[in-house]
């Protein structure tokens, strides 16, 4: 897990990028009714704006709420895996609630359409995001973080 602000930033960018790209790809595919090269192009074009929105939301709003929830549900004596699971659950729940609305509007739907279809879209987005986070985005981001940490350790060892 991240040990300082720099590592938190690296980890946050990795996990946010993976989640935003693949959730965007899923939702665009569902919205268009198919997956092809045009769907992939649309997801790539939508990625920068969606990433910026999601990253800002996670860091300014959701992260603060998540820390409060973690303090109430996870004790220092609990395992690292329980922390990871609760962290994932809270982040995915809060982000999927907000990004279901934001993503729908970025996709061209009106606010009333997004709200009318919210209880169809949100459960699908939550389930997909939860498993994407647990099975792919989290492990890949933690692996990248370990690589960065080992590189920093080697640099620090060489300077001593």
> What is the tens place of the pLDDT at every residue in 8-38?
999 999 999 999 999 999 999 999 999 999 9
Range of the domain at 155: 5-159
Tell me: the pLDDT tens digits for 60-93? 999 999 999 999 999 989 999 999 999 999 999 9
Instruction: Provide the domain count of the chain.
Output: 1
Q: Is the pLDDT of residue 155 over 90?
A: no
The pTM for the full model equals 0.90
- Find the DSSP H helices in 58-160: 63-73, 80-106, 111-116, 118-132, 138-159
Helices (H), 33-79: 37-57, 63-73
């Amino acid at each position: 897990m991240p040990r300082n602000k720099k590592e938190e930033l690296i980890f946050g960018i990795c996990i946010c990028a993976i989640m935003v790209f693949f959730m965007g790809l899923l939702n665009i595919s569902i919205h268009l009714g198919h997956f092809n090269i045009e769907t992939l192009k649309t997801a790539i074009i939508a990625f920068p704006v969606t990433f910026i929105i999601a990253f800002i939301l996670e860091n300014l709003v959701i992260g603060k709420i998540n820390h409060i929830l973690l303090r109430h549900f996870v004790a220092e004596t609990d395992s690292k895996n329980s922390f990871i699971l609760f962290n994932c659950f809270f982040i995915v729940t809060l982000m999927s609630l907000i990004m279901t609305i934001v993503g729908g509007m970025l996709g061209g739907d009106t606010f009333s359409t997004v709200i009318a279809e919210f209880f169809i879209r949100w459960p699908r987005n939550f389930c997909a995001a939860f498993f994407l986070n647990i099975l792919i985005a989290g492990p890949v981001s933690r692996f990248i973080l370990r690589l960065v940490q080992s590189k920093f350790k080697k640099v620090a060892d060489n300077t001593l």
